Structure 1
Amino acid sequence: MANKRPPRKKIKKHNTLLTEENNKKQQEEILGTVIAQLKSIEGEIIGAPLSLPANVTPEQLELLVNQLLSNDEPLPYSFSVDDKEITSTLYKDIIQGLKKSTEDVLTIVYQPQAIFRVRAVTRCTSTLNGHNDAILSVSFSPDGTQLATGSGDTTVRIWDLNTETPHFTCKGHTNWVLYISWSPNGKLLASGSMDKTVRLWIPSTGKSLGDPLKGHTQCITCLAWEPQHLNPKCNRLASSSKDGTIRVWDTTLRRVVMTMSQHTAAVTCIKWGGDGLLYSSSRDKTIKVWDAIQGKLVRTLEGHGHWVNTMALSTDFVLRTGAFDHTGKISKDEKEAQEWALSRYKAAVGNKPERLVSGSDDFTMLFWEPSTSKKPIARLTGHQKLVNHVSFSPDGHLFASASFDNSVKLWDGLTGKFIASLRGHVCPVYQVCWSSDSRLLISASKDSTIKIWDLKSNKIKLDLPGHLDEVRILLYGFILLSCEA
């Protein structure tokens, strides 16, 4: 009995696979190989130099790095050579794009990416109405499930994000609410007002926790809580004022623990660092570094020629969110929460100290390692008008600056090196904000629009109109929130 011939369709498929494999081998032979050294973004070299196919893809490099690092679970990475990201193949992006030779030894820098990915906002889903005056401050709770707003109508509102209605309206201030801030454990909300007082609110009930904290002689400009990994009770709060002082409060005892008063003009911003230092910027053109335990001045950072408007720490995101992350897990007690917060902080810092960037009316920014030196690492120039806001990405590898020159600029978060100018706004840019996976950058402007930027092409990914007035505040939680003046 004669053998049956295989179906023609299967032969065709088999031949197609062989052809593709042969073409791939021929292409590899034509393009050749490249000697490459893999290095982390912190500068740590892994393994010896490797001979890689010139057309190696990011996916293949990702498999290689996970294998070399012996990761139990594969992690996502991005790869770059001389600050040029590899998006398609090493040959196309680097050999051709940067005009490198296959004879060169290439250093491929790998950078870990967030395991989760945030989807870009494409439209306005709702409008939260209720305040009778401009919204001056907004803040998501550390776990991202609650939202609080402070307004010129003297109230603080805590919103139910499911029904999009105010869960509580907190009344007590007698003037504009200028700044609000959640404690790292999410159990308290603090608000600072033009009435010179700080008030504490219980988010679960919307009620005030006792009488207002009095002591400042002028309006409150900023608030900062002690990080959770340093204090699991989260009961110490710092406030700054236009009176030039910083006060640290014990919110349990409801009294001032210490007062720092060496600034000679209004304090514009304060940050409570993860290593126990408190940073304050002022209109006296200086930044002061304080010991947050004893209240002593550690050093004064000088270099700006005009008011210092804004500061950002490379660890801002993990300090604000404490023990909470994208998994939504809840700790069983304060000790476990402290351990989680400490673990997240150590992962964010890596093998380098906290970094600080400051923006000024002198059109420049200064890049510091304030815990180790009073001299700036770099002076960052390029903006043509005052720098209004700076913000580090959650992973600390990038930071962005917003200026009244209508532009946003992108900088390397480890070196301060300039990366790109993001242009598209036609009016001053008030604020920039990062998605929690560090892959999206959002800017708010006087031109009444929000723009979401593609960081691979440095171009506008989405343009979001809708506001009827200038957009002054941006905040990214599980949703993107923007507020007009």
Structure 2
Amino acid sequence: MSIKLLKSLKLHKDKLWSVDCSKGLMATASSDRKIKLVNLKNLDFQLVEELDDSTHKKSVRSVSFRPHSSILAAGSFDSTISIWGKDEEASIEDGYQETELLAIIEGHENEVKGVAWSHSGYFLASCSRDKSVWIWEADEMGEEYECLSVLQEHSQDVKHVVWHPAMHLLASSSYDDTVRLWKEDADDWECAAVLNGHEGTVWCSDFEKSESSLRLVSCSDDTTVRVWKYEEEDENGEDIWTLESVLPSVHSRAVYAVSWSPDGYIASVGSDGQIVIYTEDESGKWKVIAKQHEAHSVFEINTVQWTRVGDTNLLITGGDDGCANIWFFIP
């Protein structure tokens, strides 16, 4: 098993923080305040659009596509979230439709670190250095947003948010060394569980890509990658999650991002510049099946995401070098 570099795209002049993919399109976000869109179809990897860099006054930290649409949310260090989209009713004969700014969402008091759309597209979650997680309800056109809840149980900077692939269950990762799980209850949102165990900032988490699964992978400043599992609901109605596994120790410095593929592989990246890919055997034991050293030369890697183009499994990484590297994974 191995990974092979297909293309290195020098897209930004500063750190590339985040990537997201949808409908054959990749979006990237950077400290240079730019958002770029790249065509993944036919594996041509051509830059098709650069969104207006005057929209945000500081770094764009996170991007997330709304499922089954071209709408894109971007969170910035200027404390705002921008929403972008195309004319969904335009025909093929109209040619390429430029992406337009649909809305600017305000509310956070400090840097927005993460944004994520729910699987249904009804909810947008955001998190911030102001220690809060906000849940927004979006209209069908993606132009109007209502804040449904401001969740303030984290004691420190919240780094990342991610939704379950089939449930309205949200995970948030924080500088307070925890992951919190949130769910809706009686028209409000509440903390369903707190995952304790990491001994440093939790930078990122991701759910297993199975509609019925309730497992989550997390990564941390403590150099570990951990898998958690939902067990049951206790007598007080709180969810019990347990640490199922600590993956083999490979990273020598902080692990910044993890991604769980639909095929069951976990990829991790971080400050040491490595890509590590893990698989689970029939006994439930995780093992390392591929590693790539200096995947972005001497630079740190900030983000990783699995995506599929046709029948091809791709792994995309983004680093401090401003590059999006696209890897072919050979199982």
TM-score between both structures, scaled by the size of structure 2: 0.64
1:11-90 counterparts in 2 under 5 A?
none
1:285 aligns with 2:177: yes
Deviations 1:258-289 (Å, cap 9, x if unpaired)? xxxxx665554455545786655444434456
Counterpart-to-counterpart distance in 2, 1:293 and 1:157: 27
Is 1:448 aligned to residue 322 of structure 2? yes
- Decide which structure has greater helix share: 1
Q: Is the 8 A contact 2:206 2:216 kept in 1?
A: yes
Deviations 1:301-347 (A, max 9, x none): 444222222111112xx7xxxxxxxxxxxxxxxxxxxxxxxxxx25x
Partner of 1:382: 250
Report if aligned partners of 1:190, 1:201 keep a CA contact under 8 Å in 2.
Answer: no
Q: Which amino acid aligns with 2:296?
A: H
Q: Residue 85 of structure 2 aligns with which residue?
A: 159
Gap change, CA 1:293 and 1:396, over 3 Å in 2: farther
CA contact (8 A) 2:224 2:246 kept: no
Distance across 2 between alignment mates of 1:296 and 1:151: 25
Q: How far does the alpha carbon of each residue in 1:421-462 deviate from its partner, in whole angstroms, 9 at most, with x for none?
A: 1233120000011113571111101012111112128xxxxx
From 203, 206, 217, give the equivalent of 1:312: 206
Structure 1 SS opposite 2:214: coil
C-alpha change, 1:275 and 1:435, in structure 2 (3 Å) is: closer
Asked whether the equivalents of residues 169 and 181 of structure 2 are also in contact (C-alpha less than 8 Å), the reply is yes
SS at match of 2:272: coil
In the aligned structure 2, how far is the partner of 1:368 from the partner of 1:124?
38
Deviation at 1:139, TM superposition (A): 1.3
In 1, the alpha carbon distance for the partners of 2:292 and 2:196 equals 29
CA distance in 2: counterparts of 1:172 and 1:122, whole angstroms:
33
Determine if the alignment matches structure 1 residue 148 to structure 2 residue 91: no
Per-residue CA deviations over 1:359-378 (Å, capped at 9, x if unaligned) read 11011112233437624323
Equivalent position to 2:288, from 418, 424, 436? 418
Which AA in structure 2 matches 1:135? V
Q: Which residue among 62, 76, 85 is the counterpart of 1:137?
A: 62
Tell me how far 1:409 sits from its aligned partner.
Answer: 0.9
Q: What CA distance in whole angstroms lies between the structure 2 residues aligned with 1:178 and 1:307? A: 14
Q: Within the alignment, does 1:431 sit opposite 2:303 as a pair?
A: yes
Name the amino acid aligned to 2:200.
H
Coordinate RMSD, CA, aligned: 3.8
CA contact (8 A) 1:313 1:355 kept: yes
- Decide which structure has greater strand share: 2
State the TM-score, normalizing by the size of structure 1: 0.46
2:176 and 2:129 map into 1 onto residues whose CA distance is 21
Distance verdict in 2 for CA 1:364–1:173, change over 3 Å: same
Cα distance, 1:355 vs structure 2: 2.8
Work out which of the residue numbers 105, 114, 134 in structure 2 matches 1:179: 114
Report the Cα distance in structure 1 between the residues aligned to 2:133 and 2:218, rounded to whole angstroms: 27
Q: Classify the secondary structure of the residue corresponding to 1:127.
A: strand
Identify if the C-alpha distance between structure 1 residues 361 and 187 changes in structure 2 by more than 3 Å, giving closer, same or farther. closer
Cα-to-partner distance string for 1:214-270 (whole Å, 9 max, x where unaligned): 75xxxxxxxxxxxxxxxxxxxxxxx5x5xxx1xxxxxxxxxxxxxxxxx66555445
**Higher RCO (CA-CA < 8 Å; seq separation 6+):** 2
For structure 2, the 5+ residue unaligned runs are 3-23, 25-39, 88-95, 233-240
Question: Sequence identity of aligned pairs in percent?
Answer: 26
Q: How much does 1:387 deviate?
A: 0.2
SS at match of 1:184: coil
**Contact preservation (8 Å) 1:148, 1:159:** no
Three-state SS of the structure 2 residue aligned to 1:206 is: coil
